[in-house]
Amino acid sequence: MRGNRILGIIFSNLHEKLISEITERRTMGAVPFGGRYRLIDFPLSNMVNSGINKVGVLTKSNYQSLTDHLGTGKAWDLSRQRNGLFILPPFMDPSDYANRVSTFRSIMPFLKNSPEEYVVISDCDVICNIDYQKVFEKHLENGADITLVYKRAPLPEKLHDPMVLSFDARGKVTDVLVSPSISGTCSFYMNIMLIKRELLIDLVNKCVSKNTMNFKRDMIQGEYNSLNIYGYEFKGFAPIITSPSEYFNANMALMNSEVREDLFRGDRPIYTKVRDDMPTKYGLESKVKNSLIGSGCTIEGEVENCVLFKGVHIGKGTKVSNCVIMQDTKIGQNSGLSYVIVDKDVTVRDEKTLAGQLSYPVYISKESVV
């Protein structure tokens, strides 16, 4: 796939209210994941691995952490004199980024001045490793105006405005349901699409002129009869972060070696900002089982079924199980944590016990002292 034919667009803020505790001081795209990554690393790496060398990241608020992580785009080979990485904050009023249509309207100069023929659009809350080259080839083979990436599975709980698709034998979309009452396996849209740039501009202008500003209902559901809209089924690991428990479960799924092999492929690596650190230190009485441990940690207690980010300290006599513990957190001595999400730079003092449930993990906010 010729990258200079395709522009990448990533929404970094949408749906962050679904995990409002974790996104209180950061965007959805800046949420840490898997011991060393941020959520935006996945769509951004997917685009880079597919030859896309111009990517615009749309953000609305709380984006200091995101811009610090992305920097100039060097970690993704997007630090370039031409093309590269573009951070697109609100040009006037953040309310312009209230929905997808108004967001596209607010970045219309960026879209119009980009020479690329096609646009790939993705959210940050879908964690997957997808080859856009295959999507592009299928798009051309079908002669499609729009290709929607979908997954065959039960609808994720609390998914915002889910869109369920039906197809004919050729894969062309024949029906679109938005927020349907449906149970069991279905084909739901993953908020990833490929579309011609000029068509996207025309559809946005049409919606704005009619004051029909719902992206799914007005731009897709309202147009599928008049456009050639096709689907592309993605069959790999692809959790959608719709709640703190889904975020927790997605991290815990990384304990499965098959999931790791699917998500972190050698031929399509997931890139991230590099933080050099010392190797992890293990105390004489430490015990670690079935866990992902970042560099720079100090473990003197027991760790089981956990994801530990860089710089975490586990004190003597402490037992942590089924936890996600983010960067530079310190857990004191003789404490116990189970089913807990601990944000960055948290201090848990000695002899504290915190326990949640698989369906409702406890969350400790950034820089807290417990």
Are residue 290 and residue 209 in the same domain, yes or no?
A: no
Are residue 210 and residue 322 in the same domain, yes or no?
A: no
Are residue 344 and residue 197 in the same domain, yes or no?
A: no
pTM summary value: 0.94
Asked if the structure places residue 271 within a domain, the reply is: no
Q: Where residue 111 sits, what CATH number does that domain have?
A: 3.90.550.10
Asked if the structure places residue 275 within a domain, the reply is: no
Are residue 8 and residue 121 in the same domain, yes or no?
A: yes
* pLDDT (0 to 100) of residue 97: 64
Helix, strand, or coil (residue 108): helix
- In this structure, what token pair is assigned to residue 296? 């720079």
Q: Where residue 311 sits, what CATH number does that domain have?
A: 2.160.10.10
Asked if the structure places residue 141 within a domain, the reply is: yes
Asked if the structure places residue 159 within a domain, the reply is: yes
Domain boundary among 206, 232, 263: 263
Per-residue pLDDT of the chain (370 residues; tens, 9 = 90+): 454 589 999 999 888 889 999 999 899 999 999 999 999 999 999 999 999 999 999 988 888 899 999 999 999 999 887 889 999 987 655 565 668 888 898 899 999 999 999 999 999 999 999 999 999 999 999 999 999 999 999 998 888 889 999 999 999 999 999 999 888 899 999 999 999 999 999 999 999 898 888 889 988 998 888 999 999 999 999 999 999 999 999 999 999 999 999 999 999 999 999 888 889 999 999 999 999 999 999 999 999 999 999 999 999 999 999 999 999 999 999 999 999 999 999 999 999 999 999 989 999 999 999 9
Asked if the structure places residue 153 within a domain, the reply is: yes
Are residue 253 and residue 315 in the same domain, yes or no?
A: no
In whole angstroms, what separates CA 335 from the centre of its chain? 32
Are residue 211 and residue 172 in the same domain, yes or no?
A: yes
Are residue 59 and residue 136 in the same domain, yes or no?
A: yes
* pLDDT (0 to 100) of residue 203: 94
Domain boundary among 263, 290, 310: 263
Are residue 193 and residue 298 in the same domain, yes or no?
A: no
Number of domains forming the structure of the chain:
2
* pLDDT (0 to 100) of residue 82: 83
Are residue 206 and residue 343 in the same domain, yes or no?
A: no
Asked if the structure places residue 16 within a domain, the reply is: yes
Are residue 127 and residue 176 in the same domain, yes or no?
A: yes
* pLDDT (0 to 100) of residue 61: 80
- SS3 for 228-287 is CEEEEECCCCCCECCCHHHHHHHHHHHHCHHHHHHHCCCCCCCCCCCCCCCCCEECCCCE
**C-alpha distances out from residue 237 to 135, 258, 261, 266, 282, Å:** 17, 9, 10, 16, 32
Asked if the structure places residue 201 within a domain, the reply is: yes
Backbone angles phi, psi at 242, to 5 degrees: -115, -5
Are residue 259 and residue 289 in the same domain, yes or no?
A: no
Asked if the structure places residue 369 within a domain, the reply is: no
195 touches 119 (CB < 8 A): yes
* pLDDT (0 to 100) of residue 352: 95
The side-by-side arrangement of strands in the sheet containing 324-325 is 292-293, 307-308, 324-325, 340-342, 362-364
* pLDDT (0 to 100) of residue 13: 86
Domain boundary among 263, 296, 322: 263
Are residue 237 and residue 301 in the same domain, yes or no?
A: no
Other beta carbons within 10 angstroms of residue 2's beta carbon come to 12
355 touches 362 (CB < 8 A): yes
366 touches 344 (CB < 8 A): yes
Helix (H) or strand (E) holding 198: helix 197-210
* pLDDT (0 to 100) of residue 94: 58
- Expressed as residue numbers, the domain containing 358 is 281-364
